Amino acid sequence: MKPASKRAKGKRLEYRIASLIREKGLDKKASRMPLSGAFPHLQADIYTNLPIHIEAKNQEVVKLWQWWNVLREKAKFGKEPVLVISGNHRPIVAVVNIDYLLNLMKIEQDYLNETSTGVQKEQGQ
């Protein structure tokens, strides 16, 4: 694949990620970061106000640990590193630290339990 085609493939994934963030209502201003990585203050591939630092890779050969290590170094303090990977005719998947994933699941579980309890109280149970 030619370098220009590789860049276009990467940009498509970045645009898709930003679009998904906006569609879910998480950040209406999420966008692809132009010149990501070109300057120290523009390291993430996606501009978002979410507390995450996204690195997107749209490649057939996955170099998980190499990409993860670079991402961890680039992620700004207070931003959780999120590695988003895809390839030709493959789903978009995200790699995060297990503690971060479990914390998100705990927040969702607590919310669902609270919502369920609130509904039961309203129904007089």
Q: Which residue has the higher pLDDT, 76 or 63?
A: 63
Q: Which of 38-42, 79-83, 96-100, 107-111 has the lowest mean pLDDT?
A: 38-42
Residue 46 covered by a domain: yes
pLDDT for position 5: 78
Q: Which of 76-80, 97-101, 118-122 has the lowest mean pLDDT?
A: 118-122
Q: Give the domain extent around 14.
A: 3-97
Task: Give this prediction's pTM.
Answer: 0.84
Residue 68's H or E segment, with its range, is helix 64-74
pLDDT for position 39: 56
> Do residues 44 and 36 lie in contact, with contact meaning Cβ atoms separated by under 8 Å?
yes
- The CATH number of whichever domain residue 29 belongs to comes to 3.40.1350
Residue 31 covered by a domain: yes
Residue 84 covered by a domain: yes
What are the tens digits of pLDDT across the range 44-61? 899 999 999 999 999 999
> Do residues 56 and 84 lie in contact, with contact meaning Cβ atoms separated by under 8 Å?
yes
Expressed in angstroms, the distance from the first to the final Cα of the chain is 63
Residue 109 covered by a domain: no
Q: Look over the chain and give the mean of its residue pLDDT values, rounded to a whole number.
A: 89
Domain count, the chain: 1
> Do residues 87 and 60 lie in contact, with contact meaning Cβ atoms separated by under 8 Å?
yes
